[in-house]
Structure 1
Amino acid sequence: MFEKLQRLGKAFMIPIAVLPIAGLMLGIGAAFTNPLMVETYGLTGILGEGTFLFYVLSTMSAIGNIVFSNLPLIFAVGIASGLALQEKGAAGLSASIAFLVMHTIISTILGFLGHTPDTTSVEYFLSIGLDPVEAAKQANVYGYELGIFTVRIGVLGGIIVGLLVAFLANRYYDKKLPEALSFFSGVRFIPIISVLAISIIGVIIPFIWPYIHIGISTFSEFFGRTGPIGMFFYGTLMRLLNIFGLHHAIYPLFWYTSLGGELEVAGKLVQGGQSIFFAQLADPTVTQFSAEATKYFTGGYLPMMFGLPAAALAMYRTADSKNKKIVGGLLFSAALTSFITGITEPIEFTFLFVAPLLYGIHAVLEGISYAVLYALDVAVGVTFSRGIIDFTLFGLLQGNDKTNYIWILILGIPTAIIYYYVFKILIVKLNLKTPGRGEDSENKLYTKKDALLKDIDIEEVISALGGRENLVDVDACITRLRVTVKDTSIVAEDSIWKEQLKAKGIFKMGSGVQVVYGALAEILKNEINRIK
């Protein structure tokens, strides 16, 4: 299960990887074409309607918006190609075809059942006696996908298509058919079997989705009614799952599906927290972003921009005097990465393995951040992570009236103080071996240059993984080498990875192995795949 979840998380990252640039284009385009901002700062002559920059920025906004408007298809193709072990291109193409077929079949079945745009509207449900709330819920079950009248299965539909096609591609990529049908063997069989399989699912969905949709909406409402308490547990859990890289398999469900809520924006029902935010960002009539939508990610700004940099300062201040010069630059670099980009693993993994208690406290503090910012109605959006870049684009430039971003700045200093003193006191009182403390402390964060030139021998890494014959699949995320092996019992122990192979740590579960290497992970993956 661990191995499958880590692969799923990695597959999720493929479609998600295109979203930061789309979000940046939408954020910049929407911010600098907003009439209120243009008039407030007297920029009509430069950015006003009809100017060259207005056309450029409007185009950027449209490009970003079209990506977020078609996330279901993007997820279908991305997951299918990401999970396919062979013939990834064929899997991606098959997923796009299957996605269209599924919604076409759903639309056809809805027609047979008498469900049309007219008989699924709020007005129709009101006319047959439903109360306004129930009428809205029933109407929200139905909508459009790529111009096809269908059920609002959204990104979840894309995930279903992606998973199914990947499974079929991995099973039938080398399928041999009888001689008369040999042309359709192998890779050509993938779209055929995908269409046949998704057709069955397409027939079933119209009968069961209305009940599933209502159930998800009810659960989402229940989760919302838990208020700050619910967000505390969500934020804490996501940070703990980050240890194993499994958060990638969970948070997209809240960011891009109806599990993260539904809201009508510009006359269109939008599902998922991040999707709602960017739909509102593209709508110039929105005067305040929905904190109900952004509650699944805004809480990360306080620990990423203020908390962890302060923790890095605490580790520096508690380091042995002789080591401060060595660890100072490294910790500063990791802290700056967290502050600017919101990428936290370089700094988190400096204390996760040597002082897991600190990581547990960090997770709790992040949960509190989620709860507090949600309670204060803060609604600052996110592309990929929560650093000063995203804060500027989706907080400062959007204005406090829309986002309540001021609370992040107000609470930033108290957050930093809490992190600093909690970390400093615990490090000193418990004599925790954070970077620079003790004779045998590791006083470096490993760089690409270290690995490529002298520190890591690829053959030794492969040997530590049990040898070439033990490798099934080698992949990587931002900071971890993710490997599926035949036998984890012959994978080297943690001490060997740390002392000889310069890793920060290793996780083994089922047939999945994750080795924490920071920015080296992608390089090592490429090198292992090149020579294995």
Structure 2
Amino acid sequence: MFEKLQRLGKSFMIPIAILPIAGIFLGVGAAFTNPVMVETYNLGAILGPGTILYYILSAMAAIGSAVFGNLALLFAVGIATGLAVQEKGAAGLSAAISFVIFHTSISTILGFLGYNPETTSVDYFLSQGKNAIEAAKLSNVYGYELGIFTVRIGVLGGIIVGLLVAYLTNRYYDKKMPEALSFFAGVRFVPIVSVLIISIVGAIVPFIWPYIHLGISTFSEFFGRTGPVGIFFYGFFMRILNIFGLHHAIYPLFWFTSLGGELEVAGKLIQGGQNIFFAQLADPTVTKFSAEATKYFTGGFLPMMFGLPAAALAMYRAADDKNKKIVGGLLFSAALTSFLTGITEPIEFTFLFVAPLLYGIHAVLEGLSYAVLYALDVSVGVTFSRGIIDFTLFGLLQGNAKTNYIWILILGIPTALIYYFTFKTLITKLNLKTPGRGEDAENKLYTKKDTLLKDVNIEEVIDALGGRDNLVEVDACITRLRITVKDISKVADKELWTSKLKAKGIFKKGSGVQVIYGAMAEVLKNEINKVR
């Protein structure tokens, strides 16, 4: 199971690599084009609609949003290609097609059941006698994916598709068919069987997911109404749901509906935590923002600005010396994204699947942050996340009297120290395979191929496999070259591979050869296929 989790974590690395820059684009663009922020600080002449900066920042926000809005698709393709042992290209294409089919199948069944954008709107449920909270919860079950009306299953849907397609690819990539159907044999059978299976799975989801979604919402509602202890569990629960992107199905209920509280501001009854904060922000008579309204998001400032960057430093310090240069860029960019914008996925996915214990501790510490800041009456607002940008705009510039922001600064260093020493100690004591650790250093980004290949001669590898004419197929999984040869007797023995050719081991069976090369396997495969 541990090895499979490592492979799953590796499969996330390609989509994760784009998340830091996408997070910065989204965070900076969204923060500085937020209408309330522009109006509050009278920046319309510089950042208002029609200005050059507005167009640039809006484009940045749109680009970042496009990436995060399609995480489910990116993970579906990433998991499928990462876990496929053979025919990774076919796996990736099949995953993309299957993801569309998955949600199309869901949408079709929803239509048969009478659910559509009109019959799942808040207004419709209100007309059916539901109260405002019930209507919001029911409407929030449904949404769009790639423009398809479907259920809000988020990244979990992408994970389901990716895992199924990877399994089907590994099982059917060499499928034999009758002569009359030979065109559909082998790799061509993978997208066919994937679409068929995913269609069935998609048809089942509408009968199951709404109940799961509503159950999560009801569970979260209880946490939001039980003081600091409940807020601890709310913060913890939201961080756990973040793994699958399901927090997006919950927090809007607290930010924008009466589930997040009601308060009269400037003579109007405002509902929802974030709505209350921005209404108070626009009211010059307000002398203290409501911590009851901000308790559903203020707690994230400590882990996002201080905790996770410190965790990144711990992972860097715990990496093997030879890999620090490789993982340094990845961890620094992910830490910077978290600090600047409060977007945490880039850094969390670097350790989530290879060291889930660390993620569990992170979730506990985030829950504590929510509880402590709520108990201290801290009320710093947010646009959509909790980085230094929002902290400056809605904490520092508002003054401590209004926000009690000083507690975030006071507790920031202790939070960073707790994260750093907890992560560093557990990584080293338990030998957790975080980025850059271990012989294979599975969860690191690759360096340049010439650096990886400096001790290995491609022509000598080919000769050890019996020469070009002996090669039938050359592929690689995460750590191994996987070669099919014509004559297994022509393949060199273990001694040559482990001494001169720097391999860690070799296995032979039938016409198949597996040579263990760690992270270099994929690069070697590509180089061999270029010259064979």
Same topology, TM > 0.5: yes
Partner Cα distance (1:186, 1:214) in 2:
42
One-letter amino acid of the structure 1 residue matched with residue 243 of structure 2: L
Partner Cα distance (2:334, 2:94) in 1:
35
Partner Cα distance (2:420, 2:198) in 1:
53
Worse-matched range after superposition: 130-139 or 21-30: 130-139
Alignment correspondent of 1:261? 250
Question: Aligned with 1:85: secondary structure?
Answer: coil
- 195 and 294 in structure 1: CA distance in 2 versus 1, 3 angstrom threshold: farther
Task: Please list the CA deviations of residues 277-299 of structure 1 after superposition, one character each: whole Å capped at 9, or x if unmatched.
Answer: xxx9xxx9997997636867852
Q: Does residue 1:103 correspond to 2:64, yes or no?
A: no
Say whether the 8 Å CA contact 1:220–1:259 is kept in structure 2.
Answer: no
One-letter amino acid of the structure 1 residue matched with residue 335 of structure 2: G
Say whether the 8 Å CA contact 1:253–1:259 is kept in structure 2.
Answer: no
- For residue 156 of structure 1, report the CA deviation from its aligned partner: 1.9
- For residue 185 of structure 1, report the CA deviation from its aligned partner: 1.8
Say whether the 8 Å CA contact 1:373–1:407 is kept in structure 2.
Answer: no
Of residues 366, 373, 389, the one that matches 1:370 is 366
Worse-matched range after superposition: 46-55 or 198-207: 46-55
Partner Cα distance (2:159, 2:422) in 1:
41
Alignment correspondent of 2:22? 22
- 211 and 368 in structure 1: CA distance in 2 versus 1, 3 angstrom threshold: closer
Partner Cα distance (1:80, 1:342) in 2:
27
Task: Please list the CA deviations of residues 333-386 of structure 1 after superposition, one character each: whole Å capped at 9, or x if unmatched.
Answer: x9999888639xxxxxxxxxxxxxxx9xx9999677524431325677999xxx
Say whether the 8 Å CA contact 1:298–1:380 is kept in structure 2.
Answer: no
Alignment correspondent of 1:2? 2
Task: Please list the CA deviations of residues 150-172 of structure 1 after superposition, one character each: whole Å capped at 9, or x if unmatched.
Answer: 22222222222121111111211
Matches within 5 A, 1:381-392: 391-392=387-388
Alignment correspondent of 2:60? 60
- 150 and 200 in structure 1: CA distance in 2 versus 1, 3 angstrom threshold: same
Say whether the 8 Å CA contact 2:176–2:182 is kept in structure 1.
Answer: yes
Of residues 396, 400, 414, the one that matches 2:392 is 396
Give the alignment's Cα RMSD to 1 decimal.
5.8
Alignment correspondent of 2:153? 153
Alignment correspondent of 1:89? 89
One-letter amino acid of the structure 2 residue matched with residue 32 of structure 1: F
- For residue 25 of structure 1, report the CA deviation from its aligned partner: 0.9
Note the residue ranges of structure 2 that are not aligned, 5 or more in a row. 258-273, 282-288, 337-354, 375-379, 430-445, 458-474, 483-501, 503-516
Alignment correspondent of 1:171? 171
One-letter amino acid of the structure 2 residue matched with residue 373 of structure 1: S
- For residue 203 of structure 1, report the CA deviation from its aligned partner: 1.9
Partner Cα distance (2:279, 2:82) in 1:
38
Say whether the 8 Å CA contact 1:217–1:259 is kept in structure 2.
Answer: no
Task: Please list the CA deviations of residues 295-328 of structure 1 after superposition, one character each: whole Å capped at 9, or x if unmatched.
Answer: 6785254345569979999x9xxxxxxxxxxx9x
One-letter amino acid of the structure 2 residue matched with residue 51 of structure 1: T
Question: Aligned with 1:150: secondary structure?
Answer: strand
Partner Cα distance (1:34, 1:103) in 2:
31
Task: Please list the CA deviations of residues 131-184 of structure 1 after superposition, one character each: whole Å capped at 9, or x if unmatched.
Answer: 443333333222332332222222222222121111111211222222222222
Of residues 301, 306, 309, the one that matches 1:302 is 306
- For residue 73 of structure 1, report the CA deviation from its aligned partner: 2.4
Alignment correspondent of 2:439? none
Worse-matched range after superposition: 72-81 or 125-134: 125-134
- For residue 27 of structure 1, report the CA deviation from its aligned partner: 1.7
Partner Cα distance (2:120, 2:360) in 1:
44
Question: Aligned with 1:194: secondary structure?
Answer: helix
Task: Please list the CA deviations of residues 68-88 of structure 1 after superposition, one character each: whole Å capped at 9, or x if unmatched.
Answer: 223332332222222222222
One-letter amino acid of the structure 1 residue matched with residue 306 of structure 2: L
- 92 and 201 in structure 1: CA distance in 2 versus 1, 3 angstrom threshold: same
Of residues 289, 293, 296, the one that matches 1:292 is 296
Say whether the 8 Å CA contact 1:379–1:405 is kept in structure 2.
Answer: no
Partner Cα distance (1:299, 1:159) in 2:
26
Q: Does residue 1:230 correspond to 2:233, yes or no?
A: yes
- 392 and 299 in structure 1: CA distance in 2 versus 1, 3 angstrom threshold: closer
Say whether the 8 Å CA contact 2:481–2:525 is kept in structure 1.
Answer: no
- For residue 197 of structure 1, report the CA deviation from its aligned partner: 0.8
Partner Cα distance (1:84, 1:3) in 2:
15
- 27 and 170 in structure 1: CA distance in 2 versus 1, 3 angstrom threshold: same
Say whether the 8 Å CA contact 1:15–1:74 is kept in structure 2.
Answer: yes
Relative to the length of structure 1, the TM-score reads: 0.57
Alignment correspondent of 1:180? 180
Partner Cα distance (1:6, 1:214) in 2:
32
Relative to the length of structure 2, the TM-score reads: 0.57
- 335 and 13 in structure 1: CA distance in 2 versus 1, 3 angstrom threshold: closer
Alignment correspondent of 1:143? 143
Worse-matched range after superposition: 110-119 or 394-403: 394-403
Alignment correspondent of 1:356? none
Partner Cα distance (1:404, 1:11) in 2:
42
- For residue 122 of structure 1, report the CA deviation from its aligned partner: 3.1
One-letter amino acid of the structure 1 residue matched with residue 246 of structure 2: T
Say whether the 8 Å CA contact 2:302–2:412 is kept in structure 1.
Answer: no
Alignment correspondent of 1:342? 335
Note the residue ranges of structure 1 that are not aligned, 5 or more in a row. 239-249, 269-279, 316-326, 344-358, 384-389, 427-431, 433-447, 460-471, 476-481, 486-500, 502-514, 516-520
Say whether the 8 Å CA contact 2:316–2:331 is kept in structure 1.
Answer: no
Matched length: 408
Partner Cα distance (1:420, 1:18) in 2:
25
Say whether the 8 Å CA contact 1:458–1:528 is kept in structure 2.
Answer: no
Percentage of pairs with the same residue: 54
Worse-matched range after superposition: 100-109 or 214-223: 214-223
Say whether the 8 Å CA contact 1:105–1:199 is kept in structure 2.
Answer: yes
